[in-house]
Amino acid sequence: METRLQRAAHLLDVPHLVVFTGAGMSKDSGLDTFRDADGVWSRNAPEDYASPEGFRRNPRAVWRWYLERREQILAAEPNAGHKAVAALEQLLPRVTVITQNIDGLHQRAGSRRVLELHGSVHRYKCSKNCRGVSTLTPTPELDQTEPLPCPYCGALTRPDVVWFGELLPVEVWKAAVREILACEAVLVIGTSGQVEPAASLVWYARGRGKSLVEINPAPTLINDIAEVVLPGTAAEMTPALLAALAALHAAD
């Protein structure tokens, strides 16, 4: 493992690193993943809680479900993996986090450049986007159990997250593509590589010759294209990789 960490450190010691993260990044903070056997979608039908149709059928249930999830997220703390990703900024000239997570834990850990492909559970918007995409509205208190009306048009408000059947935020997607094109290496942490179009960024990077290192405790679709795979959780392996990078810099 030591040799593998050292090789990964050499690959990631670049002027511009992209860190691409999924739900496994936050698992050690006590937050469930989505697609694992014991994940969120094993207990809750995504078409009921993460689709425009589900919101139209039962807006109150969806609203309350997201309030509960936001409460869980607010009670969680960034884990050692989040903190190690933030600390990479002290070693490398530019680090950009592209995340599929909606929890905001990267920002709470100290990462300064974070692109949220799937939005944020901490923001709310008009369900009709009456003033454009997205029409952001005040974030409700956790005890607000009924959907609030949009202050501009009166339509119901909803979390500013990407649901099944919806497009990713256009400007965020464009920014993510720009970062992938500009970087020299990508560190992938805690994602199955199954969720599109987000996962296509990893293949896009590899197809353009970017170095690719993966951290994940289980086999994924990305294993075959990664130059180095570090088997383990984000909280275990990311600090170890940070230490390997720091040792590399200390030796220079």
Q: Is 118 a catalytic residue?
A: yes
Contact criterion met (CB below 8 Å) for 213 and 12: yes
* Distance (Å, whole) CA 57 – CA 48: 8
Angle at 26 between CA 80 and CA 59, to 5 degrees: 150
Q: Is 235 exposed, middle or buried (0-12, 13-18, 19+ CB in 10 A)?
A: buried
Residue 122 backbone phi and psi in degrees, to 5: -90, 0
* Distance (Å, whole) CA 134 – CA 128: 9
Given 10, 16, 118, 122, the catalytic residue: 118
Q: What is the C-alpha R_g of the chain? A: 19
**Tokens representing 192?**
């199955």
Residues 6+ apart with CB under 8 A from 196: none
Which residues are part of the catalytic machinery? 118
